[in-house]
Amino acid sequence: MNESSATPCNKIWTVNYIDIGALDCSEADSLFSASETIRTAALRDIKQLLSLLLGKRLRRPPLASLKARRYLRKVSPLLDSAKRGRLCLRILLVDPQLSLADLSRLEKVLEGVPNVTIHYAPVAIYGERTAFVRFFRPARRQSMNVAAWRDIGASVYAAKNNVTSVRARSLLGLSVSQFVDLLQETLPLDFADFNVLRMNAEGIEYSVLSELDARGLLGHVSLLCGTGNDLQKIDATLAGEFDAFLCERGLSFELFGGDDWRRSQFRRKWGDTIAGLPT
């Protein structure tokens, strides 16, 4: 695991942000600034306007992407609190393709900000104790406004509905137990005032939450976000068990993913809370 340089954390409000399935770190970026370029936002809005001209029903307000980008570029509550020294922020980004991502945006935004630490774990998480796991890639690459190398929806589960063994490869993996050990060594959940756990992990979500529950750590998760629907694409029965697990513990996923319009909605709703500000 790689780690950026950090200032010792000794402030009142301590926040852990754990992102499993970080991919290109767009969600982490959007907590502090816009993660999409103005060209991407404009193309999204043009596509929406063309749909409106064709008489189709819009799924979002006109010019939503450009407005969201403008909002995300404003000083975020998290960044403002960190700069003022009121916040200690620890970030853990987990994804087997992380080494291919452009991390410079996030590092540039947080450069020189006190009490911020970024940890990188370019690994897959799997249910069994093993050093290497098979990584099954989608049958077709999705390339809309993303780099050509990125395998969106790739999974360690061969049963996932859009992957193929033909394009599989081996990569470094941690078991769920090993990952939680790493998490507690790096960003101990029972130490922080507020823990944000984001997962878009192609089916491993249930295993991670079950392990946290078994260790008595699940109650320390302050905000669970991401998508949480990938298990349905792998095993419908297991997905039903996962839904029951969440229901019994009063948990649900706050949507945090997609494009900057959706990410801006998350930050509007949760930005002040995560930053420890009165709401």
279 inside domain: no
8 Å CB contact between 126 and 173: yes
8 Å CB contact between 4 and 118: yes
Residue 188 is predicted with a pLDDT of 95
The DSSP secondary structure of 74-126, one letter per residue, reads: SPPHHHHHHHTT-EEEEEEEE-TTGGGS--HHHHHHHTT-TTEEEEEE--EEE
1 inside domain: no
Tokens of 10: 């000794």
Residues 222 and 100 in one domain: yes
> How confident is the model over 137-156, as a mean pLDDT?
53
Residues 91 and 165 in one domain: yes
pLDDT of 16 strictly over 60: yes
Residues 109 and 224 in one domain: yes
Residues 207 and 177 in one domain: yes
Residues 68 and 151 in one domain: no
pLDDT tens sequence across 166-219: 666 677 788 899 999 999 999 999 999 999 999 988 788 999 999 999 999 999
- Domain boundaries, position 50: 37-72
Residue 202 is predicted with a pLDDT of 77
> How confident is the model over 141-150, as a mean pLDDT?
44
Q: Residue 247 — very low, low, confident or very high, per pLDDT cuts 50/70/90? A: very high
Domain count, the chain: 2
Residues 43 and 124 in one domain: no
3 inside domain: no
Q: Residue 5 — very low, low, confident or very high, per pLDDT cuts 50/70/90? A: very low
Residues 59 and 152 in one domain: no
- Tell me which of 81 and 8 has the higher pLDDT: 81
